[in-house]
Amino acid sequence: MHDLDALFAALRSGDRAALGRAITLVESQRESDRTMANDLVSRCMPYSGAGLRLGITGIPGAGKSTLIEALGNALIDRGHRVAVLAIDPSSARTGGSILGDKTRMERLSQRTLAFIRPSPTGGHLGGVAHATRETIILCEAAGYDHVIVETVGAGQSELEVDGMTDLNVLLLIAGAGDELQGMKRGIMESADVIVFNKADGDAKVRAENARRELRGVLDLLPLRPSGRKAELLVASAQDGSGIDELRSVIAQRYQEDRASGSVAVRRAEQSLHWLDRAIDLGLRDLFQGNTVVQQRMAAVRDAVRNGSLSPFAAAEELLVLFRTGGALRP
């Protein structure tokens, strides 16, 4: 397709507007855009995969965007090209993130070697995650060797940022009580680096203490499959402390994982996971779009709600209708 040739060529040449258009295409929910989007992603795949995919998670207000501004600038100063993608359902709802992130990443957004893309709005979380994963491929093909995904790590497994990144950084604020929340929700298991953030002024001592305490707790837990313990750091984007240490810890872990082959293994597992997810979602869409199923759905839901039909029998009935197109309906 002619349009696609031009878009792909422009994207590969590093044209940021073209990258923006390409991302809009993969975010599109329109059926007619899907073929083109799939085509484009397939073409980009051979040119992707060389760079680091980094997740930055933490509750809203943890300082993710501000830290990414600092880290991103430090990476660019060292000759890297940095793309920042935000998945933040809360800000998509209020519509406030775009403005907020632009001001928090003011310097970064002005640099020619950076690309910042706010949350896709609309669509279900599964769709957002899907679009973000494809967007990573597009950014890499456009020449960004660091793709940073900012997400609220509030336990929304649907976001599955862990399913698309090589390394994850969790931001905590000492004394906010979220150390334990993070533990409970299993977020800490997927964190390679945990940063006690906003460690400036009076908060510095508190952050150092929290780091020591958490180290003690984590040392009691069994080793993760990687055989590696999470690195614990203290940082402040405001006074700049700890940022270079964070950058170098990330670089070192990534190099180790590249060398050991675990990045490749992890990405292969992630791809299979997304294949399964895409099939699940596709089947559900087919099922819900089936007219025979639709005609029967309301009655079946009523029956399940009032207890006259078991949910399993109901599902079975609907699935039979789906498979037979209603032919076996008595």
Ligand X SMILES: Nc1nc2c(ncn2[C@@H]2O[C@H](COP(=O)(O)OP(=O)(O)O)[C@@H](O)[C@H]2O)c(=O)[nH]1
Which positions touch Mg ion (CB under 5 A)?
A: 64-65
96 binds ligand X (CB under 6 A): no
Residue type, 170: L
Q: Which of 100, 123, 126, 155 binds ligand X (CB under 6 A)?
A: 100
Q: Does 237 bind ligand X (CB under 6 A)?
A: yes
63 counts as binding ligand X under rule CB under 6 A? yes
Q: Which two tokens stand for residue 158?
A: 């649907």
Q: How far is the CB of 97 from Mg ion (least distance, A)?
A: 6
Listed ranges 41-49, 54-62, 181-189, 281-289: which one lies at the site for ligand X (CB under 6 A): 54-62
Based on CB atoms, which residue is closest to ligand X, 44 or 249?
Answer: 249
Which of Mg ion, ligand X, none is residue 237 near (CB under 5 to 8 Å by kind)?
ligand X
326 CB-near residues (< 8 Å, 6+ apart): 292
80 binds, among Mg ion, ligand X, none (CB under 5 to 8 A by kind): none
Nearest residue relative to Mg ion (C-beta): 65
Q: How far is the CB of 150 from Mg ion (least distance, A)?
A: 6
Q: Residue 177 binds which entry of ligand X, Mg ion, none, with Cβ cut-offs from 5 to 8 Å by kind?
A: none
Residue 62 is a binding residue for ligand X (CB under 6 A) = yes
Structure tokens at 72: 């991103």
Selected from 145, 200, 208, 244, the binder of ligand X by CB under 6 A is: 200
Alpha carbon distance 126, 58 (integer Å) = 20
What's the min distance (Å) between Cβ of 201 and ligand X? Answer: 7
238 binds, among Mg ion, ligand X, none (CB under 5 to 8 A by kind): ligand X
Neighbour-count burial of 269, counting CB atoms closer than 10 A to its CB (0-12 exposed, 13-18 middle, 19+ buried): exposed
Q: How far is the CB of 119 from Mg ion (least distance, A)?
A: 9
The terminus-to-terminus CA distance of the chain in angstroms comes to 48
| Strand 193-196 relative to strand 146-151, pairing | unpaired
Q: How far is the CB of 68 from Mg ion (least distance, A)?
A: 8
The reply on whether position 66 binds ligand X by CB under 6 A is yes
Based on the shown chain and the rule CB under 6 A, indicate whether residue 98 belongs to the binding site for ligand X. Answer: no
3-state secondary structure of 84: strand
Looking at 80, 117, 133, 198, which residue binds ligand X (CB under 6 A)?
Answer: 198
**Residue 196 β-bridge partners:** 172, 234
Regarding 238 and contact with ligand X (CB under 6 A), the answer is: yes
d(CA 145, CA 81): 6
Determine the 3-state secondary structure of 157 from DSSP: coil
Residue 59: enclosing H or E segment and its boundaries? none
Coil vs helix vs strand at 165: coil
Q: Give the bridge partners for 323, in sequence order.
A: none
Q: What is the CA radius of gyration of the chain?
A: 22
Residue 267, SS3 per DSSP: helix
Interface residues with ligand X (CB under 6 A) are 58, 60-66, 100, 104, 197-198, 200, 236-238
